[in-house]
Amino acid sequence: MVNHMETVAAKLPKTLLAQVNRLIAGGTFPNRSEVIRAAVREFLEASALRSASPENDRAEEAERKRLQKTLRRLAGDPRYLNRFVALHRERVIDSDDELDPLVQRVLRREEQPIFVERVNPGGAPARVRLPGVRVKFQ
């Protein structure tokens, strides 16, 4: 396999580097390069999501399809059906019967991104109702 990677030099503040080292010491990442690659990917992904574009729509759609596939798989597991799960890289890292305690716990975790989803029968997406609509005079 051809390695297309290039070496780049970058300076980081000591506090940021200490946080990077903690991620490696904790086993989340094998080395600094992998942390930086993950961070850059995450930044580019977030930037793409923010900019309104067909690419943005495609990225969101692809992300949604990956999540739905994972949720369909989890719907067949009685440990997760009708519960909330926290997913990182399509693996369950935490779960709970209630949304709030799960969100509070995962907000303290360092993995990114984390998706908090409800595992409905058949992997159907959760629905939220926003019926509020303001009527304007033309």
Residues 31-60 that bind other proteins (CB under 8 A): 42-43, 45-47, 49-50, 52, 60
When binding is defined by CB under 8 A, the residue of 22, 53, 112, 122 that contacts other proteins is: 112
Is 99 near other proteins (CB under 8 A)?
yes
Q: What is the spatial distance between Cα 86 and Cα 73, in angstroms, rounded to a whole number?
A: 14
CB of 112 to other proteins, least distance (A): 6
Q: What is the spatial distance between Cα 64 and Cα 87, in angstroms, rounded to a whole number?
A: 13
CB contact at 8 A, 85 and 74? yes
CB contact burial 8-45 (16+ within 10 A = b; e otherwise): eeeeeeeeeeeebeebeeeebbeeeeebeebeeeeeee
Is 129 near other proteins (CB under 8 A)?
yes
Residues 6+ apart with CB under 8 A from 39: none
CB of 77 to other proteins, least distance (A): 16
Closest CB to other proteins among residues 26, 125: 125
Closest CB to other proteins among residues 34, 90: 90
Q: What is the spatial distance between Cα 115 and Cα 3, in angstroms, rounded to a whole number?
A: 31
Is 135 near other proteins (CB under 8 A)?
yes
* Contact residues: other proteins, CB under 8 A: 42-43, 45-47, 49-50, 52, 60, 63-64, 67-68, 71, 86, 99-100, 103-104, 106-107, 112-118, 125-137
